[in-house]
Amino acid sequence: MDELDIRSFWRRGDKAFTDDFFSVDVRKLAREYCLRPNSEAFILAGSVTVDLEWRQCHLGGYRVYFCCPRCLGRCCILYRFPKGEMPSDQYGCKKCLNLAHPVENEGESERAFRRFKRAYERRGSEDSSQPEGKPLWMRWPTWRRLTDQFLATIEGRLEYDEKMTERLRRLYKS
Ligand SMILES: [Zn+2]
């Protein structure tokens, strides 16, 4: 099987895609369709073929990404653009969405991401063999404080994603 140079295509039923669909997360897609590293592309609603990129994780296994059809960058979430544009332009990553439909607070996402990254680095990774993941050398109050800060930045990012979806909803309506 592996010697054959075939692209594995997966088709999603049309009924799964309604007009109130605004974004698609590659991680959810991969879970739902049991995608494997030999799946090189996925056909999204509107017959748009999007390439998949698989990258090996440090701890083994693979992580899957979309290859944004507009900028060819790696991303986890593709946003669906309002109709009336080229079929191949129907999807784009966060960056492309901001370029095509700029908003006043464009720096918000980047700031939220920087806050998230800083908090993540300060906290360090969890030790799965320890209760609540606390590394042995760290004191409990420090670990709890850093964890709270980290969780707050995740929320900040989620809020931003909701704003993006809200914006798309408005674009579709107009
Ligand atoms: Zn893009």
| Residue 139, pLDDT score | 93
- How many whole angstroms from 75 Cα to the centroid of ligand 1? 8
CB-based burial label for 9 (10 Å; 0-12, 13-18, 19+): exposed
Low-confidence ranges of the chain (pLDDT < 70): 1-21, 82-88, 100-107, 109, 172-174
CA distance linking residue 128 with residue 105, whole number of Å: 38
Residues 6+ apart with CB under 8 A from 53: 64, 65, 66, 67, 74
Give residue 143 CA to ligand 1 midpoint distance, Å.
Answer: 36
At residue 88, the pLDDT reads 62
Q: Residues 38, 48: contact at Cβ < 8 Å?
A: no
Ligand 1 midpoint to CA 150 (Å): 27
CB neighbour list of residue 164: distance below 8 Å, 6 or more residues apart: 23, 79, 94, 97, 109
32-58 pLDDT per residue, tens: 888 888 888 888 877 788 899 999 877
Q: What pLDDT shows up at residue 17? A: 37
**What's the 31 CA to ligand 1 centre distance in angstroms?**
23
119's tokens: 């908090």
Q: How far is the CA of 126 from the centre of ligand 1 (A)?
A: 31
Query: For residue 145, what pLDDT is reported?
Result: 92
For residue 66, the CA-to-ligand 1 centroid distance in Å is: 10
Count of alpha carbons within 13 Å of 117, Cβ hemisphere only?
A: 6
- How many alpha carbons lie under 13 Å from residue 35 in its C-beta half-sphere? 28
